[in-house]
Amino acid sequence: MYEKYHDKGLNIVGVSLDRTEDAWKKAIEDDGLEWNHISNIAYFDDAIAKLYNVDAIPAAFLLDENGIIVAKNLRGPALEQKVAELLN
């Protein structure tokens, strides 16, 4: 989906809750994730996870161009449908 919609404006920021830097970087490489990634290597004590009340992973938040959350925890076809709706 990233490749399909990136040219239309989709950007992704992955926030890792890994416990070690090695695990975090390995996951990015193994999964071929091309977008931006950040991590405080703090697991669920991560400030971003706390800010967004993330208590389970994966968690997904879809923000509009103004940074407003327009959907959360969508997956698969439901996520792609919402992205398409916002970008088409």
Per-residue pLDDT tens for 6-25?
A: 999 999 999 999 999 999 99
In 3D, which of 84, 31, 85, 34 has the Cα closest to residue 58?
A: 31
Could you tell me the CATH number of the domain that includes residue 16? 3.40.30.10
**36-39 and 69-72 as β-strands: parallel, antiparallel, unpaired?**
unpaired
Amino acid letter at 30? D
Which residues lie below 8 Å from residue 87, measured CB to CB, with a gap of 6+? 5, 8, 9, 10
Domain count within the chain: 1
pLDDT of residue 81: 97
* Cβ atoms of 16 and 42 closer than 8 Å: no
Structure-block tokens of residue 63:
């923000």
Per-residue pLDDT tens for 34-45?
A: 999 999 999 999
pLDDT of residue 34: 94
Q: What's the whole-model pTM score? A: 0.85
Host domain of residue 12: 2-87
Per-residue pLDDT tens for 22-80?
A: 999 999 999 999 999 999 999 999 999 999 999 999 999 999 989 999 999 999 999 99
Determine how many CB atoms are found less than 10 A away from the CB of residue 18: 19
pLDDT of residue 88: 86
